[in-house]
A and B are shown apart, each in its own frame.
Chain A
């Protein structure tokens, strides 16, 4: 379980958000939504301590990650798989090596075991055939999937998606959304999805956290969200024609 308590962050004089608190239960999928630039990505970087908050704490199974020394912090980070917005693949090595990268350094597995693990991770994202492709040959959707394979290869307890569907066509977005659901089920993993794509949220999420006006404006389950009277939230989720239609249907 991840407990986020009274987290406040600012860059210089610019306040990102303050006093953010919510819990993430094991096994659930939570979507963090909000406008671009409201600090969603910054928030998840606090969860695995890539960034340090001004105040507040993040407890992972009861331990405050920000109070740990660097070595245990790094150990704990390995419980998190992260899919970055631009996939963040290492462009000097090919697909297989990208996925094998953390294994080579953090496990004492033989070449055979590494190979098996990498191919298993690639099969989760349906990319077994592309294992020897160079990073530059991959399309945007494939890059996301390779990034995802790399994120799950160390068998993490948590996986964080930073804008998993941004920059992808609707069909590929749909595939990624299905992957998120698949992985959550098959690996019994806790997922944290940062997105502003409401379609994605409605499809994959169990819970929603809404960041607005420098604070956590609303959080609850998707069902609760659909019935919510929170004005900013309604404005946000009904910003597109399609979602207006959906909302009408729900009502």
Chain B
């Protein structure tokens, strides 16, 4: 029952957001502000995540495929394919659920419990359009951008790790990476990130927007926002994979 009611509230909030998404004037400023917070400010952590994901993938695949019968290029293929189709999107999203999702939930939660949302409403603002819409829009626009960053740094990290540990020469890595490269994988990655961006920002906004009970309530909302975002991201990943592959 509780879950159903939450789903109902969530959908209502999304409906309000959709309906008020036309009031661009209201949220124009915070939209760009959010794009910076979600996109620009997350670039370093996504670079780092991508880079290490790639390098760890290379080193571990090289370790596991230590056999004379498997060509080294296979490692390049495994690393770049896994990064493009899965890891760049999912690992980045899980990291962003922590970074972006928690921030959104805390911000909105604090605004709710300190009556700033009421203040906005009582001034005649549409608080959903003012707070939720720019965040969700910025999310679905910037997540795919971050996907590119994660892919570039993931594959680059894999390549460099192979090069510097001496396990996979760059030429072999690239041969494998290119041999199994399919444009559809990248499109699929973009679709995933688009969906994950929506999931993380909307769930976090919802949790923050309806926070109750002071500082503790905000903390609870933030935790819930992150945990639920992560779970829904993984679920959506599964659904997308079974629907689109």
In the complex they form, whether A and B have CB atoms below 8 Å apart is answered with: yes
Chain A interface (Cβ within 8 Å of chain B)?
Answer: 45, 48, 50, 70, 74-75, 77-78, 80, 82, 84-86, 88-90, 101-102, 105-106, 154
A84 to B113, CA, bound (A): 11
Q: Can you list, as one digit per residue, whether each of B111-140 has a CB less than 8 Å from chain A (1) or not (0)? A: 000111011011111100000000000000
Evaluate contact between B123 and A101: CB separation under 8 angstroms.
yes
Evaluate contact between B118 and A77: CB separation under 8 angstroms.
no
Query: In whole Å, how far is A162's beta carbon from the nearest beta carbon of chain B?
Result: 8
Evaluate contact between A84 and B118: CB separation under 8 angstroms.
yes
Query: In whole Å, how far is A17's beta carbon from the nearest beta carbon of chain B?
Result: 19
Evaluate contact between A105 and B125: CB separation under 8 angstroms.
yes
Evaluate contact between B114 and A86: CB separation under 8 angstroms.
yes
Contact of A70 among B25, B26, B118, B126 (CB under 8 A): B126
A106 to B122, CA, bound (A): 13
Contacts of A70 in B (CB 8 A): 126
A88 to B116, CA, bound (A): 5
Contact of A45 among B118, B125, B126 (CB under 8 A): B118
Evaluate contact between B121 and A105: CB separation under 8 angstroms.
no
Evaluate contact between A85 and B115: CB separation under 8 angstroms.
yes
Query: In whole Å, how far is B9's beta carbon from the nearest beta carbon of chain A?
Result: 14
Contacts of A85 in B (CB 8 A): 115
Query: In whole Å, how far is A155's beta carbon from the nearest beta carbon of chain B?
Result: 13
Evaluate contact between A75 and B116: CB separation under 8 angstroms.
no
Contact of B114 among A74, A88, A101, A105 (CB under 8 A): A88
Contacts of B115 in A (CB 8 A): 84-86, 88
User: Which of A45, A70, A88 has the largest number of chain B CB atoms within 10 A?
Assistant: A88
Contacts of A101 in B (CB 8 A): 123
A84 to B116, CA, bound (A): 9
Chain B interface (Cβ within 8 Å of chain A)?
Answer: 25-26, 114-116, 118-119, 121-126
Contacts of B116 in A (CB 8 A): 88-90
Contact of B119 among A74, A78, A88, A106 (CB under 8 A): A88
A154 to B114, CA, bound (A): 22
Contacts of B126 in A (CB 8 A): 70, 74
Evaluate contact between B122 and A48: CB separation under 8 angstroms.
yes
Evaluate contact between A50 and B124: CB separation under 8 angstroms.
no
A239 to B54, CA, bound (A): 70
Evaluate contact between A50 and B122: CB separation under 8 angstroms.
yes
A88 to B1, CA, bound (A): 33
A80 to B124, CA, bound (A): 9
Can you list 23 A-B pairs, Cβ within 8 angstroms, ordered by A? Answer: A45-B118, A48-B122, A50-B121, A50-B122, A74-B121, A74-B126, A77-B121, A77-B123, A77-B124, A78-B123, A80-B122, A82-B118, A84-B115, A86-B114, A88-B114, A88-B118, A88-B119, A89-B116, A90-B116, A90-B119, A102-B123, A105-B125, A106-B124
A84 to B112, CA, bound (A): 12
A86 to B121, CA, bound (A): 16
A105 to B126, CA, bound (A): 11
A234 to B115, CA, bound (A): 32
Query: In whole Å, how far is B15's beta carbon from the nearest beta carbon of chain A?
Result: 12
Contacts of A106 in B (CB 8 A): 123-124
With A77-B122, A78-B123, A86-B115 known, 13 other A-B pairs at CB within 8 A are A50-B118, A50-B121, A50-B122, A77-B121, A80-B122, A82-B118, A82-B119, A84-B115, A86-B114, A88-B116, A88-B118, A89-B116, A105-B25
Evaluate contact between A82 and B122: CB separation under 8 angstroms.
yes
A86 to B123, CA, bound (A): 16
Query: In whole Å, how far is B113's beta carbon from the nearest beta carbon of chain A?
Result: 9
Query: In whole Å, how far is B16's beta carbon from the nearest beta carbon of chain A?
Result: 9
Query: In whole Å, how far is B10's beta carbon from the nearest beta carbon of chain A?
Result: 19
A233 to B191, CA, bound (A): 64
Contacts of B123 in A (CB 8 A): 77-78, 101-102, 106, 154
Top-9 shortest CB links A-B: A88-B119, A78-B124, A88-B115, A84-B115, A82-B122, A74-B124, A102-B123, A77-B124, A88-B116
Contacts of B121 in A (CB 8 A): 50, 74, 77
In the complex formed, the residue of A with least CB distance to B122 is: A82
Contacts of A74 in B (CB 8 A): 121, 124-126
